[in-house]
Amino acid sequence: MSQAAARGQLAALADADLFERAEAAATAVRARLPVVPNVAVVLGSGLGAFADGLGGAISISYEEIPGWPASRVTGHAGRLVAGTARGRGVLALSGRAHSYEGHALDTVTFPIRVLGRLGIETLILTNAAGGINTAFSPGALMLIDDHINLLGANPLAGPNDDRFGLRFPDMSEAYSPRLRALAGEAARAAGLMIEHGVYVAVAGPSYETPAEIRAFRALGADAVGMSTAPEVIVARHLGIEVLGISCISNMAAGILPQPLTADEVLETTARVRDKFIALLEGVLGRL
Please tell me the predicted confidence (pLDDT) of residue 74: 60
In the chain, domain spans = 3-286
* Residues 144-203 pLDDT 10s: 999 999 999 999 999 999 999 999 999 999 999 999 999 999 999 999 999 999 999 999
Please tell me the predicted confidence (pLDDT) of residue 28: 97
Please tell me the predicted confidence (pLDDT) of residue 266: 80
Q: What's the pTM?
A: 0.91
Please tell me the predicted confidence (pLDDT) of residue 13: 52
3-286 homologous superfamily? Nucleoside phosphorylase domain (3.40.50.1580)
* Residues 231-262 pLDDT 10s: 999 999 999 999 999 999 888 877 877 777 77
pLDDT confidence bin for 6, thresholds 50/70/90:
very low
Strands 122-131, 88-94: pairing kind: unpaired
Q: Answer with the residue of higher pLDDT: 17 or 45.
A: 17
